[in-house]
Structure 1
Amino acid sequence: MPATPAVPDGKRPTLADVAARAGVSTALVSIVMRGAKGASEATRERVLEAAREIGYRPDARARLLRSHRSRLLGVQFGLQHPFHADLVEGVYAAAEPAGYQIALSAVAAGRGEQRAVETLLADRCEALILLGPQAPAPRLAELARQVPVVSVARRLRPSVPGVEVVRTADAEGAREAVDHLVALGHREIVHIDGGKAPGAADRRRGYRTAMNRHGLAEHIRVLPGGLTEAEGAEAARTLAAARPRPTAVLAFNDQCATGVLDVFLRSGIAVPGDVSLVGFDDSHLARLAHIDLTTVGQDIPRLAGLAVDRAIARLEGDGAPTGEHVIAPHLVVRGTTAPPR
C-alpha cells in the first residue's frame, strides 16, 4: 500500500477512500466497519489498517440516524456552574460505555432553559438529563410526556409524573457542615443561602435544624445570597461590616463561597483565622490549591451514573415507576475551617 494519505488535506475520509486504499469494494468496507459477517479476518485487518492510515472515523451520528434511533442523551447544564461541569464529565463517563452519546445544551445569561431544551429535542435526543432545572413542575411534566426526563440536584415536591429525580440529601449536608463548625467551637454561624436555586430550601432547613439541635437558635442568621461569586461577595461585604462579626459562614455553594473568600481576604479578614468558611458541592473549584475550601461533597460520579442509568432504563423498557433517588453527602475538611480565636 502507498504510504501517503489517499484523501486531499482537510477532507474527511469516506468509506470509498478506505475502499480505494485497501483495494476492496465500498460494500466490503461497510461490512467491516459495522462488524457484520462477510469478510475474512485478513480482509478485515487490511481494511482497518487502511482506515487507520488515512484517518477514517465512522460517522456514528449518521449510522444512528439510519437505525431510526439517535441513542443521544440530552444534557441541560448551567454554563456558569462549576458543579455542573463536574456532573457533565461524570455523565460522559457513564453514558459512553453503555453505547449512548451525549448532546449538551447550555443555560446562560442570554439563553434560558426552554431554549436549551428545545435545542436538545431538535437534535433527536431520546431522553433528557436536566442539571439543576428551575422550570416549573407543569413544564417538566410536559417534557416527560415527550421523552424520559431525569432531574438532577433538585427536589420535586410533589413529585412530577414521569420525571426521575436524582439528588443529594441537601439538608443532611448542611447539618454536617454546622456540626463540624460547632465541634470546632463556633457559635456565631451565618448561612448565606441560595434564594430560589434548586437545593436552597433544603440547605436552609438543614442549617436551621442543626443550629436548633445545638441550642443555638438565638444565633441563627440567614443572609440572602445565590449561586454566583458576585452574590457571595455581596453577602460578604455585609458580613465584613458587621459588628460583632460571625466566626463562621456556611455558603450556599462553592462558587458563592469563593466570592466570600475574595471579599474577606481583600478586607483583611483572615480565613480561617478570623472567620471559618464552608462551601457546598466539592466542585473542582473547591479543590484548587489557592482556595482549599472545606465543603460538603456531593458524590458526583454516583449522581451522574445514576442519572444516566435511569434515563437508559426508561428508554429500554424498565417498567418500574419513576421515583426519587437520594444520595448521602460527605464533609470534606480542608484549609478554610479552624477553631475560633
Structure 2
Amino acid sequence: MPRPTASGHHGRVTANRTRRPTIVDVAAHAGVSKSLVSLALRGDDGVGAATRDRILRSAAELGYRLNAQARALVQGRTGQIGVVVTDLRNPYHAEVALGVEEAAESEGLGTFLANGRRDPARLAAHVEAMIGHNVEGLVVVSSRVDPDILAAAADRLPVVVVGRPETRTPGVDSVANDDAAGAGLAAEHLIALGHKDIAYATASNRPAARSRLLGYETALAAAGLRPRVHRLPDAHRRDAVDALLDSGATAVMANNDVLAVECLGRAHERGLAVPERLALTGYDDTELAARAWPRLTSVDQHRPLLGATALALLASRLGGRTEDRHEIIPPTLVPRASTVP
C-alpha cells in the first residue's frame, strides 16, 4: 500500500509535479549526461550541433530556465551588482538605476539598490555596505562620493561612476553625457526660435551644472547675446523663482527637469502663459518632462544607455581590463510644447 504523503493523501507528492525542472530532468529527457547538458547550456564548442539542439529542445519543452545566480554561486560568485544613487526622489537617478538593472538582468545578474539621499556620509556608508555584501561590481550614480572612498572600493571590486565627479579617481571608470554640448543644444534651439533674452536657472554648483552653464554661455556668446544666471537655492526657492519670472526673460533654461517643473508650476500659479509668454527647457528628459503640461522641451541624456554602459564597463573590468575608461554619451534635444517662436 502506498505510503501517505505529507498532505495526507496517497500517491505521488504533488510538489514533484509542480517543482521547477532541474538540469537532471533535462539530461534524462534528452538522453544525455548532466555534464553534457551543462556544457550545452553554457554554449561550449565541444557539444555537437545536433546534440545541442536536442538538449535545448528538451529544456524548452520542460520549461527549464538556467538559474544564473545558482551558477554564479557554484563559481564562487554572488551574481549581484551594487547600485548606489544620490537621490531616488530625482527621476534622473531612478531612471539610470533602472537602466543598470535592465542591463544586469540581460546578463543574468541581480542588483542591490541603495539611496544616498544627497548625503555624502550616507553614500559612503552604502558603498561600504555593498562591499560587505560581496557584490561583484559597483555602479555609483552620484558625483558626491569622496574620492578616497571610491579608491578604497576600487581596490576590492570594479567601480563605475555615472556622472561628473569633481576629480577622476584612478582605478574607477566613469560614464557621463556631454553636459556642455547638451546645454548648447537647448540654447541654440531657443535662439533659433527668436529669443534674445534667455536666462539660465540652476540650484547647483556641481561639475555637471558648471558644464551646462558653460555650454549655455558659449552658445549665447556665439549669437552675440548677453547671458544671465539666476541661482535658485533650496532656501527661499519661491522668492528666487519669482525674481526669475519677473526678470523680463522670454525664455528660461533650467539645469534639470525638476527645477524646470518648479518654474513651470509657479508660472501657472501666477498666470504666466507657457510657452506664449515664457519658453522653458529642462535637462535630463525624465518622465517629468513628458508628463508636465505643456510637455517640456528637455535634453535627453539617454539614461538607459548610461546605465547599460556602466554595466558594460563593469563586465570588461571583471573580464580582466586594467586601464581606466571614461565614456561620454552625446545627448540629444527633445523639443516639445514648452518652447515656441
Q: TM-score, normalised by structure 1?
A: 0.78
Equivalent-residue separation in structure 2 for 1:310 and 1:247 (angstroms): 42
Equivalent-residue separation in structure 2 for 1:29 and 1:15 (angstroms): 13
Residue type of the partner of 1:132? S
Q: What are the ranges of 5 or more consecutive residues in structure 1 without an aligned counterpart? A: none
The number of residues matched between the two structures is 318
Equivalent residues in 2 for 1:162-181 (5 A)? Answer: 162-181=171-190
Q: Which residue matches 1:149?
A: 159
Answering whether residue 208 of structure 2 is matched by residue 205 of structure 1, we say no
CA contact (8 A) 1:192 1:235 kept: no
The CA deviation at 1:69 is: 0.8
Q: Which residue matches 1:258?
A: 261
The CA deviation at 1:115 is: 2.8
Q: Percent identity?
A: 31
Equivalent-residue separation in structure 2 for 1:234 and 1:127 (angstroms): 44
Local SS of the residue matching 2:321: coil
Equivalent-residue separation in structure 1 for 2:282 and 2:165 (angstroms): 20
The CA deviation at 1:117 is: 1.9
CA RMSD of superposed structures (Å): 3.7
CA contact (8 A) 2:184 2:215 kept: yes
CA contact (8 A) 1:285 1:291 kept: no
80, 83, 97: which one pairs with 1:75?
A: 83
Query: Following superposition, which runs of at least 4 residues in structure 1 exceed 3 angstroms of deviation?
Result: 12-16, 28-37, 39-50, 56-63, 230-235
Answering whether residue 285 of structure 2 is matched by residue 285 of structure 1, we say no
Change (3 A) 1:225 1:295: farther
- For structure 1, which segment, 255-264 or 99-108, has the greater mean C-alpha deviation from structure 2 after superposition? 99-108
Q: Which residue matches 1:236?
A: 241
Q: Which residue matches 2:340?
A: 338
The CA deviation at 1:257 is: 0.9
Q: What are the ranges of 5 or more consecutive residues in structure 2 without an aligned counterpart? A: 1-9
Local SS of the residue matching 2:282: strand
Change (3 A) 1:44 1:181: closer
Equivalent-residue separation in structure 2 for 1:266 and 1:153 (angstroms): 34
The CA deviation at 1:134 is: 0.7
Q: Deviations over 1:190-226 (max 9, x none)?
A: 1111413451111122222222222223x42232347
Answering whether residue 256 of structure 2 is matched by residue 246 of structure 1, we say no
- For structure 1, which segment, 201-210 or 91-100, has the greater mean C-alpha deviation from structure 2 after superposition? 91-100
The CA deviation at 1:85 is: 2.2
Equivalent-residue separation in structure 1 for 2:157 and 2:145 (angstroms): 16
Residue type of the partner of 1:247? T
The CA deviation at 1:57 is: 7.7
Q: TM-score, normalised by structure 2?
A: 0.78
Change (3 A) 1:151 1:259: same
CA contact (8 A) 2:257 2:285 kept: yes
